[in-house]
Every structure is written in C-alpha cells, then in structure tokens.
C-alpha cells in the first residue's frame, strides 16, 4: 500500500510536469527523441495531445449527410462559408494521400503534370463560348485596370491556348496533360458538406490527339487509370453513360459511387449491364400488348387511308392526362401530353406520350439552347393556349418539339385547344407536325432497357469522376491545330477527364463507416496505426509507449499516438471515430505480459502482440489487412 501511494504521488508530479513541459522524455532520460516535441509534429507520427482539431461528440446541426457529419465530428474539415471549407490536418493528410494515388495513376497512364492559372482572361471564355454554358456558375472578378478575369472552373481554354502555341505537328501528339489544383464554381446550391462545393481541388486531365482513334485510346487509358484509382481506395464504382452538360462534347461517361446521398439518378439494367445517368438514359418506348399500335413503331404513320378520322370529344373538367384517360377509359399510353417551355426567349410546345415525362436535359440538347424553363401560366394564355386542353393540333406560329414516342402508335387522344374538349384519333404526322422530333423522354424504373428490353431500375449515385470526348470545338476556336503527315492543318482532338478530390473523399466516408465513425481504407487513412496508452500518466506506461511510438515510426509507419491523460472510453471512441485501420493499446495489463493489444477497425476481436519484434508484427498485420480488403 505504501509503495503504491508513493507511486501515485510521483505520477501526480509527472503529470504536472508533462502538462507544463510537453510530453515526457524517452525512457533513458530524453535527448533521443526527434525534435519538434514542442508541437508534436513529426514526419510519420503525431501526438493526439498536440493535434490541431478536436473531435466532437455531437455533429453540428447543419450537417445532414453522414460524410458531412463525420468529417465535421472528426475535425477533418471546417466550414467557412456555404460550399467553402478548410481542411484541418487530419483531413488534409487524407486528401494528400488521395492526390498522390491519383498522381501516380495519371503518371502511369502517361500523363504529364503541370500547373495552370486560377485567374483566366475572360476573353478565353468568350472565345470558347462556354461563358454562356457556365452562366452564373462562372466566378468573375475585375482587376484594377477594369479587365475582367474568370476564376477557373475548369481549364480546357487554357490548355487549348497552350496547345495552340506549343503543338505544331502530329509528331507532338498524343499528349496527356493534367493538373491537380483548386477550381472555383459559383454553384447555385452547395450541399452535403464536401459533396458539392464552390471551391474544390480537382484533378483534371486533358488528352490531345491527332485523330479519333487516338482519342479513343486516350479515353480508354484514362478510364482505366480511373478504375485503378478507385480500386486503390477500395471504392466500388460504376461507369455509366452521361450527358456532357456545360463542358460540352459528344461521348461522356461518369464514374458513380452508389449511394442514397448521391444527387444523380442512375438508370441501370441488371440483365445486360446498360447503365446511364437519368439525364441521358434511353429506353424502349414500345408499349407491350398494345393492340391499337397500328403503325409499327418507327414507321411514322401507316397508310393514311387506314387511319380513323379525327373526332372531338367533350371532356369537361378533365385537365390532366390521368383525368382524360380515366374519362375516356384508355391507358395513358394512348394519350399525348403537351408541355410549354421557354427556350432562349422563345415559347414552344413539347408533345410527348401521356405516360412519359420530359427529360429537360435531353430537351436542352435537342434544342441546342442553354436556358430552358417551364413557361409561366401568363405566357401560356398569351400564346392563346388553354392549359389542360392544349395540343399542337391546328396550332400555328408556335414551335413544336415532339418526343419520338408520338410515332410509337396511332390514334392518340390529345387536347382540342378549346376548354372542355379533347380530340380522338390523332396521328403524327397526319394531324400535327413538329419542328423537332427527338428523344426527350425521361427514363424511369420499370421502363424497358434500350438494349435488351429487360426492366430498368434506378439507383442514386455520387459522381466521383467524369470523362468527356470533347472533340474539336474548343481547339478550333483557339486555333489549336497541327500539321498532319500530308502537310494539312487539322484541329487537335481534345478529351477532358476530371476527378473532384474532396468529393471522392466524402464518397469514401459515405461508403465506409459504421455507427462509431469512419472506416478508412488503409491506402488513404490519415494514419495507419493509432497507439493508445491507457493510464498514460504512469511513468512505466508512458516510457514503454514512447518507445513503441518511436519504434513504429522508425520502421516507417504512420502513427497517431494517443498520449492524452484520458479514460479508455474516450480514446477508443476517438480511434473508432477517426477510422484508423489498426489500434494498438498499451495498458498496465498488457505491459505486465510485455505486449500490446492490436485491434483492427473492421473487427471486433483483438489479439496480443508481444513487444519482441513488434514493428514487424504490426507491419504484417497491416499488410494482411490490405490484402483482405476487396
């Protein structure tokens, strides 16, 4: 008892000492520990007691998504304004690891890294014409000479400018140029923590090729590099067909992480693997067991003589497709619906089969416009149309866009353009014509796959990569051309390939966590090992822990050393919350058997590792963990 008491008094002193003079010295009286003890910062290790940032027991109320909550609770990020975040040391370590993985894979694919300016002449954007497509999302500022500068949301223009100056011959191609840097977009609505922000670090690669087959090869190479990146982060992704949006271009794919938190809807066919963003997804519009489908789909109309004559039917109060279909007792597939839009200031009517909805992305593309919105009630009535009873039949002076579903059958029911009446036996193109006929329909769960006719389903996803075959529209405008073998001048063919690093980080957290906290894949964990010393105020514990901390670092491991004088629960919970792959616990109990307890973040069980050869055992445990991960 007396021994014990004395021991405690000494511990008390030690504790006071440690708080004033920093962490206790090494086992043999100090001097041997690496420098920088004042702040605890080391190359491979960090003392929890010195770590900048604090874990929170409760997530701030503004955080809704899991990743947002966990990243705030762990002190990995801190919000400064809507869609603008600071990365604190732990979060920044993770981001840098992601960055390094991406860099390695881009280099492996043959990429050359460079750094491009954030401030870009606004003229670049006028030259490409994309100032219109980006619209208000393009941050701009004015310098002291009143010159307008754009804050780069992406860098195709700058690359095209560089290429116009440095690429002269087909011998200079192909090229894969990439940068990893901050980009700025004035998003209308930032959300979900790091999932959608206004300032973000992005890896953007631009491929430059002499011909289409070169572009195909670049596209293939970079796509494979993307798969490698995700695989190294243990992140399952789905490559889907995508719309190219404001970036422009033809073919485009997105890499999606399936998650309910995701903003994108993916239309997917389990049978043949067809997968596309709902913005882009196609589907088979044939109506099954449709006896009335007189002209076969795609044939336009049949012989007009076989078609029944148009008739007017009274449909009082039936203003919606469902009401009309019920009243006349036909399925909604036998009706046509008309919707009114204003595109580029022009009023237009869009007609589509009654059971389908309009996909505004497809519509925008079909119209080649950049501003599309639903018409207001005022605009509709000014155009002389009666909402609820409108149709393109007999309409003059209004541009008509038809979804190709108008050709999928004959004898539709649609509005008579007078209140209380509809028309029966309406056929395209006998009874109305369209200025544009295109696929502008929205695919949904239950529709048929365009490839194999199996049933499509829908899932949500987070877009963690997007690749585009841009083509030549930017290079042409920047005079980025080269001389081919025959001495002819041709525009460079461009591709563009982006990964948002912060979003990727958030996607990993969305994908890999439990009720205790984050579960980092080893490749991007801020530290590989969390060393917890229990009863850290006891001299013998702290001495042994210091030694282990030292040894682990010497062997090249990244260690977060929880040297705080705190209860075991606090330390264990923080280790779990932070998601460090391997936890080592040193306590009086384990010290007695000259061992530490090792527990993987993903497992419940722990094991004792004897001091002898500890670093080797830890290293091999981590290697096993790496292998066992998918």
Q: Which is nearer to RNA, 185 or 337 (CB)?
A: 185
Torsion over CA of 532, 235, 280 and 152, rounded to 10 degrees? 60
Q: What share of the chain is helix, strand, coil (3-state, %, to 5)?
A: 35, 30, 40
Q: Which is nearer to RNA, 343 or 416 (CB)?
A: 343
Q: Which is nearer to RNA, 338 or 427 (CB)?
A: 338
Packing angle, helices 66-73 and 501-511, rounded to 10: 100
Q: Are 578 and 74 in contact (CB under 8 A)?
A: yes
Q: Which residues of 431-462 are buried (b: 16+ CB within 10 A; e: fewer)?
A: bbebebbebbbbbbeebbbbeeeeebeebbbb
Q: Please state the closest distance from residue 5 (CB atom) to RNA, in A.
A: 9
- Could you tell me the strand order of the sheet in which 595-600 lies? 45-47, 559-562, 529-533, 582-586, 595-600, 606-610
Q: Please state the closest distance from residue 190 (CB atom) to RNA, in A.
A: 5
CA distances from 509 to 72, 456, 519 (A): 12, 28, 7
Which residue spans within 88-233 are E strands per DSSP? 112-113, 119-121, 139-142, 148-151, 175-184, 199-209
Q: Which is nearer to RNA, 90 or 423 (CB)?
A: 90
**How many Cβ atoms sit within 10 Å of the Cβ of residue 270?**
12
Q: Please state the closest distance from residue 285 (CB atom) to RNA, in A.
A: 22
Q: Please state the closest distance from residue 8 (CB atom) to RNA, in A.
A: 6
Q: Please state the closest distance from residue 575 (CB atom) to RNA, in A.
A: 7
Long-range interactions of 260-264: CB distance < 8 A, separation 24+: 260/460, 261/65, 261/66, 261/67, 261/192, 261/195, 261/460, 261/462, 261/510, 262/460, 262/461, 262/462, 262/463, 263/191, 263/192, 263/195, 263/196, 263/460, 263/462, 263/463, 264/460, 264/461, 264/462, 264/463
Q: Please state the closest distance from residue 425 (CB atom) to RNA, in A.
A: 34
Question: Tokens 């006891």 identify what position?
Answer: 538
Which residue spans within 354-511 are E strands per DSSP? 372-374, 399-403, 412-415, 421-426, 436-438, 456-471, 481-483, 489-491, 493-500
Q: Which is nearer to RNA, 384 or 568 (CB)?
A: 568
Q: Please state the closest distance from residue 616 (CB atom) to RNA, in A.
A: 21
Q: Are 238 and 266 in contact (CB under 8 A)?
A: yes
Q: Give the Cα separation of 12 and 22 in Å (integer).
A: 15
Q: Which is nearer to RNA, 173 or 222 (CB)?
A: 222
* Cα radius of gyration rounded to whole Å, the chain: 32
Q: Which is nearer to RNA, 131 or 481 (CB)?
A: 131
Q: Please state the closest distance from residue 128 (CB atom) to RNA, in A.
A: 13
Q: Give the Cα separation of 265 and 262 in Å (integer).
A: 8
Q: Please state the closest distance from residue 200 (CB atom) to RNA, in A.
A: 6
CA nearest neighbour of 403 among 374, 441, 372: 441
Q: Which is nearer to RNA, 29 or 569 (CB)?
A: 569
Q: Which two tokens stand for residue 42?
A: 């080391």
Q: Please state the closest distance from residue 606 (CB atom) to RNA, in A.
A: 6
Q: Please state the closest distance from residue 467 (CB atom) to RNA, in A.
A: 10
Q: Which is nearer to RNA, 207 or 590 (CB)?
A: 590
Q: Which is nearer to RNA, 59 or 459 (CB)?
A: 59
Query: Beta strands 559-562 and 45-47: pairing type?
Result: parallel
Q: Which is nearer to RNA, 372 or 483 (CB)?
A: 372
Q: Which is nearer to RNA, 173 or 358 (CB)?
A: 358
CA nearest neighbour of 347 among 374, 316, 309: 374
Q: Please state the closest distance from residue 248 (CB atom) to RNA, in A.
A: 8
Query: Beta strands 582-586 and 529-533: pairing type?
Result: parallel
Q: Which is nearer to RNA, 75 or 415 (CB)?
A: 75
Q: Please state the closest distance from residue 407 (CB atom) to RNA, in A.
A: 26
Q: Give the Cα separation of 56 and 69 in Å (integer).
A: 10
């Amino acid at each position: 008892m007396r021994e014990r008491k004395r021991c405690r008094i000494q511990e008390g002193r030690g504790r006071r000492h440690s708080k004033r003079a920093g962490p206790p010295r090494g086992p043999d009286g100090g001097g041997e520990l690496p420098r920088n003890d004042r702040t605890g910062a080391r190359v491979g290790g960090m003392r929890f007691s010195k770590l900048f940032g604090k874990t929170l027991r409760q997530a701030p109320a503004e955080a809704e998504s899991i990743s947002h909550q966990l990243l705030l609770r762990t002190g990995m990020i801190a919000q400064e304004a809507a869609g603008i975040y600071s990365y604190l040391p732990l979060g920044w370590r993770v981001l840098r690891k992601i960055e390094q993985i991406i860099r390695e894979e881009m280099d492996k694919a043959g990429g050359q890294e460079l750094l491009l300016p954030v401030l870009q002449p606004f003229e670049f954007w006028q030259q490409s014409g994309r100032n219109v497509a980006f619209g208000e999302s393009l941050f701009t500022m004015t310098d002291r000479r009143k010159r307008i500068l754009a804050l780069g949301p992406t860098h195709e223009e700058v690359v095209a400018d560089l290429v116009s100056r440095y690429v002269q011959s087909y011998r200079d191609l192909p090229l894969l140029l990439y940068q990893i840097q901050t980009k700025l977009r004035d998003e209308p609505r930032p959300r979900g923590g790091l999932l959608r922000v206004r300032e973000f670090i992005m890896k953007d690669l631009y491929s430059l090729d002499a011909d289409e087959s070169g572009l195909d090869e670049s596209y293939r190479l970079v796509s494979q590099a993307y798969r490698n990146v995700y695989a190294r982060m243990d992140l399952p992704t789905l490559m889907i067909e995508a719309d190219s949006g404001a970036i422009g271009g033809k073919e485009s794919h997105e890499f999606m992480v399936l998650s309910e938190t995701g903003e994108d809807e993916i239309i997917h066919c389990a049978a043949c693997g067809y997968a596309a963003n709902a913005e882009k997804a196609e589907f088979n519009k044939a109506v099954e067991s449709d006896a009335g489908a007189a002209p076969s789909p795609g044939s336009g109309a049949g012989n007009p003589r076989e078609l029944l004559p148009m008739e007017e039917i009274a449909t009082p109060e039936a203003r919606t497709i469902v009401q009309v279909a019920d009243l006349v007792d036909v399925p909604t597939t036998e009706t046509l619906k008309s919707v009114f839009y204003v595109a580029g200031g022009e009023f237009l009517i869009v007609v589509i089969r009654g059971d389908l909805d309009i996909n505004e992305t497809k519509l925008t593309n079909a119209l080649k416009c950049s501003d599309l919105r639903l018409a207001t009630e005022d605009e509709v009535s000014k155009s002389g149309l009666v909402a609820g009873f409108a149709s393109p039949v007999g309409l003059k002076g209004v541009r008509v866009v038809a979804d190709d579903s108008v050709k999928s059958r004959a004898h539709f029911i649609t509005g008579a353009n007078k209140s209380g009446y509809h028309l029966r036996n309406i056929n395209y193109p006998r009874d109305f014509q369209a200025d544009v006929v295109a696929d502008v329909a929205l695919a949904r769960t239950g529709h048929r796959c365009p490839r194999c006719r199996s049933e499509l389903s829908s899932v949500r996803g987070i877009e963690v990569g997007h690749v585009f075959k841009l083509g030549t529209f930017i290079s042409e405008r920047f005079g980025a051309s080269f001389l081919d073998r025959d001495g002819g001048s041709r525009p460079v063919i461009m591709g563009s390939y982006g990964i948002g690093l912060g979003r990727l980080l958030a996607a990993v957290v969305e994908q890999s966590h439990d009720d205790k906290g984050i579960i980092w894949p080893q490749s991007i964990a801020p530290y590989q090992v969390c060393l917890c010393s229990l009863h850290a105020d006891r001299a013998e514990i702290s001495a042994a822990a210091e030694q282990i901390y030292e040894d682990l670092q010497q062997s090249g491991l990244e260690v977060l050393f929880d040297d705080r004088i705190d209860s075991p629960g606090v330390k264990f919970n923080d280790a779990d919350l932070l998601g460090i792959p391997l936890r080592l616990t040193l306590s009086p109990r384990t010290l007695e058997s000259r061992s530490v307890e090792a527990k993987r973040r993903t497992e419940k069980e722990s094991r004792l590792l004897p001091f002898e050869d500890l670093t080797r055992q830890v290293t091999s445990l981590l290697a096993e963990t790496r292998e066992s991960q998918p």
